[in-house]
Structures are given as structure tokens and as C-alpha cells.
Amino acid sequence: MSLAEVFSLPFMQRALLAAIFTGLAAPAVGTYLVQRRLALMGDGIGHVAVTGVALGLLTGTSPTWTAVVVAVLGAVAIEVIRERGSTNGDVALALLFYGGLAGGVFLTGLGGTGAARLQSFLFGSITTISETDVIVTMVLAACTVVVCVGLAPQLFAVAQDQDFARVAGLRVRFYNVLVAVFAAVSVTVAMRTVGLLLVSALMVVPVATAQQLTRSFRTTLTAAMGLGVVASLGGLLVAAFAPAGTKVYPGPTIVLLALAGFVITWPVGAWLRHRQRLTAPFPTHDVPPLDHVDSDAHPHAHGPDCGHVAVRHGDHVDYVHDGHRHAEHGGHYDEH
Amino acid sequence: MTDPVDLREGAVAIDGRPVLRGLDLTVRSGDFLALMGPNGSGKSTLVRAITGLLPLTAGSLELFGTDIEDFEEWSRIGYVPQRPGAGSGVPASVWEIVASGRLGRRKLFRPLSRADRAAIDDALEVVGLAHRAKDGIHRLSGGQQQRVLIARALAGEPEMLLLDEPTAGVDIANQRALAATLQELGSRGSTIVLVAHELGPLAPLVTRAVVMRDGRIVQDGPPLADHGAPHEHHHHDHAQVPVSGHTVGLSAPLEGGQR
């Protein structure tokens, strides 16, 4: 099957659209969750949304909409518990997570729809997505992206330093609830792509990958959204071009691709951080160092290409040499 | 001209426990005021009450002549909180942190105006960190991070700057840079209120020292000579008895005498 043939299939076109929009929206919200150190919040909302899906299946209404409503309610509840800052906040969150998951499975049983139907929401079924669902997904994802990118300065400031944002006159609680609501919205958006149990991965992993290499918030946000799209599309295509006879689910493939991206960039990030620490300038003090310590007999002359890391130290250069610092002084080296 | 801060009979409680009681404080325009006192005396609580972060349980507070309940011109106030220990989970550049100081003056969904960018650049210039604008905030030392937070407050072009312990844990070189920054601001006519345990290089700039103890103001006037001294040990009789040296281990040995 060629690429053109795949793209001509209507269900694949729908799946590709859903993948692109999900890949953009989930990491956009995820960046703010990671910034607040709430990386697992998406996971919690995903659990609560299971009850929403089950409610939809039980009452015969659209599971997408009931999931949106229940997930938003759950997200606001999580935000309220967090804001209260009670010491048992994480326990309260755990109660909500498991209540949501158990309630969902319980209601599915009552409805008699069976576990298979629920499973398509738990692990995603992007290739069976209907036309209405694609439109709903696109609209909700677009709203999420507009809010997360358009209000980036405000959301960034609130997540970075709440006290400062409040004194600057920002309505901190409004923005906190806004992030919670759109986290819930993007959970339900990503529900059809990667499934409720893996939603959090698509929100968090691209951000974790991006920040290995970035220094600013805006590039992290943009790069995470780009990585989200690459992972979503890539996972979908890998699943579509899997050799005949093998069953490759798109949802887990998307998540595994995202994780692979992290595995590849992590060593690069670790090396960059190591390099930064080595080359950071040593502090210069007003008083010269008191101890004048000569290094031992030295086998070679330090210079630009001696292989040792050169670091500025006031008016001269130190060379990092086996964990200590050499500074040229006359015909020998001082330990600095 | 209305006073930036006018606090009458102010009281603040944290979790029901009274921390500040019966405080009267008027900050006049152009003051360079240092809030001093031992740990737990309520200095930071007072600053947080002035910014509205902590509600008054009694008394009244007016900012620039408006009751704090109705006060909306928050861009007139620049707040520099104590340096947070942890940081956020996502990288942020120095420039981005300072740019967030403009939010009080920006409209939603609008890009930065030319005036915004000029104010951000100016703020970075004043604290002497313009060359680090593109760097991640985590790559800066503690003292430099403190200066970034000051630049963030300055970017909003406030009339009054409130600084909570700007010198705590900051080395002497950065304290001097901070003093130079505040001197520049003072000469521009800004009102400055800062919380400090010891003044160090800031001492010559302070025009008014308010000493707190146990949630009350015990002294308000020009700074005493010993406020600038490092490792000052405050003790109960500070306001009444002249102090000579720091070996006051007599009346309250647990509070200041042990050296």
C-alpha cells in the first residue's frame, strides 16, 4: 500500500486530522502542567473521564460530550483541592483518580455495553473515529491551542510565580481554573487518539523531550507542540504500514515514538548541561586567593587545543584538569 | 499628592494566629524605607499585607489614596518576592521572566508593544544583566536571580517598589550591584520599601528605618548607625537603650548575647 493510497482512504484522512490536532493541543496544555509540576494531573483527569465515557455509553448520549463535562468537573475539583493546599492533597487526588476509574468500569457493566467498547476509549481507536468526532476534536483542539498560545504570557507568569502575578493584578484563580479546564478538554480530545490511560504521555513526554535542549519557555512550548505532531503522525503511519498479519495499535505506538524521542535527546541534554557546568565562569572576588599553590610537575602546556576545558576566571583562564583548576603563572601552573 | 501606603490600626492573622497588631504606617512618596527586625517580627507579613496577598483582619489600608478593596492600578506597585527555592518545571529565559513584569500594563491577546520592549530592556540594563537576557534563569547565581526578579518588577515601571529580603543569601558583590540599582531608582523618584535583616551596602541609601518586634512597630525614624553593621543581633531593648558593640548578653541572653 503506497502513501497516496493510505491518504485516499476516508478513515485514514479522519485519523490523520485527529492526530495532527491532538498532537498540537495535548503538549500545549502539558507545558503548563509540567511548569506547575503537575505532570500527572492529565493522568488523573483521564481516570475521571472514564466515568464520563461510561455515563455516555449508559445513557446512550455521545461519550465525547459526557467525557468533556465529567473531565472538566474533575479537573476543577483537582484544582480546588490543590489551591486549598491541604497536606493530604495528593491523597485526595488519588481518591478522585480511583473513584473515576472504578465508577467508569462499574457504570459500563450496568449499561451492559461490555468492556470492549470501553477499551476503545481507554487505549484509543483513532482509525474508527467518526466524522462528527473529527470535527469536535478539531474545534476543541483549536480552542485549546488558541488559549495556550494566545494567553501564554499570562499563563506563564501565573505558573512561574503566583504571588507576583497576583500583585501584578492578574486574576490568578481564573487562570488556574482555565488551565485545569483546558487540560480536561485536551484529555477528551486525545482520548480518541491515544486513549484515556495514555493521554498524560502525549501531554508530558514531548515537553520533557523539548526541555532537554531549550533554554526559554516559548521555544519549549513550540518544540513540544511540534514533537507532539511528529509523534502522533509517525505513530499513526507506523501502524498503517505495519506488515500484514501483525496488529499494531496506533495509540501505544504514538506514545512509544514520543518516548523514543526522549531517549534520543536525553543524552544530548545531559551532555549540554555537563558542558555548561564546566564552562560556567568561576566567581571573581575582590580579594586575591590567599593560598599560592603550585601544581605538581606538569607534563604539558595548557592552551586552546590541549583538550582541557578552558574557563574564564577574572583576568585569566583556568584549565579544568582532573577535577582541579590550573592557572598559568610564570613558568608553572597554580592551583586555583 | 497621596501617600503610596496608608495603614491604620492594621492587624493580620495567619491561620487564626495574630501576627500583626495595631500597626500604623504611612509610606510617603519618595521614601527609601527599610523594614527591620528579628526573624518572626512580622516584616514580611507586613509587606504581604500591603500587597494584598494577606488580608487585613482589622484596620484599614489605602494604596495611593484608594482603599485596597477597590484598588486596581496594580501597575503602580512593583513587588519583589523572596526568591523561590524550587523553580518551575520548564526552562525560562531571563528575558521571559522580566517580560512577565509588563503584564499589568498589557492587554489580552496583544503582542508586546515597542514601549513594552523598551521597558524590559531598560530594566535589564538597570540591574546590569542585559548580557544574560537569553540565558536560562537556572544558569544564574542566586544573587543574579534576585536581580532578575527586581528587573521584572522594574519592567512594570512602578511608582513604589516593595522588596522582601532582597539581600538574604546574596553575596557582597551582588549586594553592591543591588545597592547601585536601588540608588538609581531612588534618584528617579521611586518610593522603595524593603525588608532586610541587615542593610549592609544598602545602609547609606536608607532614609527611614522602621524596626519591628513581635508584630508591632517599635521604632520609626532615620536609620541608626548600627543598622548597617553585619551580623547585627537585635534584642528587646533596641529602641530604648543605646547599644555599644554586640556583646549584649545581659538582660536577654537567649536572644542576642550568645556569640
Look at residue A63 and tell me if it is in a domain: yes
Look at residue B249 and tell me if it is in a domain: no
Contacts of A214 in chain B (CB under 8 A): 91
In whole angstroms, what is the distance from residue B95 CA to residue A218 CA? 11
Mean pLDDT of A258-262: 96
Mean pLDDT of A90-104: 87
What's the pLDDT tens digit per position in B236-249? 444 444 444 443 33
Look at residue A182 and tell me if it is in a domain: yes
Contacts of A217 in chain B (CB under 8 A): 90-93, 96
Residues A154 and A40 in one domain: yes
Residues A204 and A304 in one domain: no
In whole angstroms, what is the distance from residue A87 CA to residue B125 CA? 42
* Distance (Å) from the alpha carbon of B22 to chain A's nearest alpha carbon: 24
> What pLDDT, on the 0 to 100 scale, is given for residue B85?
53
In whole angstroms, what is the distance from residue B198 CA to residue B45 CA? 17
Does A281 touch chain B if contact means CB atoms closer than 8 Å? Answer: no
Nearest-by-CA chain B residue for A215: B136
Residues A9 and A86 in one domain: yes
- pLDDT greater than 50 at residue B234: no
> What pLDDT, on the 0 to 100 scale, is given for residue A193?
87
Residues A223 and A302 in one domain: no
Look at residue B112 and tell me if it is in a domain: yes
Residues A220 and A325 in one domain: no
Residues A187/A244, Cβ–Cβ less than 8 Å? no
Look at residue B239 and tell me if it is in a domain: no
- Can you give the residue range of the structural domain that contains A104? 3-275
Assign B71 a pLDDT band (cuts: 50, 70, 90). very high
Report percent pLDDT > 70 for chain B.
85
Report yes or no for ipTM above 0.90: no
> What pLDDT, on the 0 to 100 scale, is given for residue A128?
86
CATH number for the domain that contains residue A201:
1.10.3470.10
Residues A26 and A63 in one domain: yes
Residues B20/B10, Cβ–Cβ less than 8 Å? yes
Mean pLDDT of A111-120: 80
In whole angstroms, what is the distance from residue B97 CA to residue A248 CA? 44
Find the helix or strand (DSSP H, E) in which B206 lies: none
- pLDDT greater than 90 at residue A39: no
Residues A186 and A244 in one domain: yes
Q: Given an 8 Å threshold on Cβ–Cβ distance, is B72 in contact with A169?
A: yes
- pLDDT greater than 90 at residue B62: yes
> What pLDDT, on the 0 to 100 scale, is given for residue A274?
87
Residues A309 and A221 in one domain: no
Mean pLDDT of A18-36: 95
Look at residue A123 and tell me if it is in a domain: yes
Question: Most B CBs within 10 Å: which of A145, A160, A204, A211, as the mutation test of the B interface?
Answer: A160
* pTM as predicted: 0.84
Residues A265 and A313 in one domain: no
Look at residue B196 and tell me if it is in a domain: yes
In whole angstroms, what is the distance from residue A146 CA to residue A32 CA? 14
Assign B230 a pLDDT band (cuts: 50, 70, 90). low
- pLDDT greater than 50 at residue A53: yes
What's the pLDDT tens digit per position in B98-116? 999 999 888 888 889 999 9
Ramachandran area for residue B206 (φ above 0: left; ψ -120 to 50: alpha; else beta): beta
* Residue indicated by cell numbers 520533557: A208
Residues A82/A40, Cβ–Cβ less than 8 Å? no
Look at residue B67 and tell me if it is in a domain: yes
Report the amino acid identity of residue B185. Answer: L
Residues A236 and A319 in one domain: no
* Distance (Å) from the alpha carbon of A19 to chain B's nearest alpha carbon: 25
DSSP, residue by residue, A191-256: HTTT-TTTHHHHHHHHHHHHTTT--SHHHHHHHHHHHHHHHHHHHHHHHHTSPTT----HHHHHHH
Mean pLDDT of A274-283: 76
Contacts of A157 in chain B (CB under 8 A): 100, 103
CATH number for the domain that contains residue B205:
3.40.50.300
In whole angstroms, what is the distance from residue A253 CA to residue A97 CA? 25
Residues belonging to chain B with any Cβ–Cβ distance to chain A shorter than 8 Å:
48, 51-53, 72, 74-75, 77, 79, 81, 84, 86, 88-93, 95-97, 99-101, 103-104, 106, 108-109, 134-136, 139, 141, 149, 152-153, 156, 171, 173
Look at residue A285 and tell me if it is in a domain: no
* Distance (Å) from the alpha carbon of A91 to chain B's nearest alpha carbon: 22
Counted across chains A and B, CB pairs separated by less than 8 A come out at: 103
Q: Given an 8 Å threshold on Cβ–Cβ distance, is A167 in contact with B88?
A: no
How many separate domains does chain B show? 1
Residues A240 and A208 in one domain: yes
How many separate domains does chain A show? 2
Look at residue A320 and tell me if it is in a domain: yes
Residues A205 and A304 in one domain: no
- Can you give the residue range of the structural domain that contains B137? 5-230
* Distance (Å) from the alpha carbon of B249 to chain A's nearest alpha carbon: 33
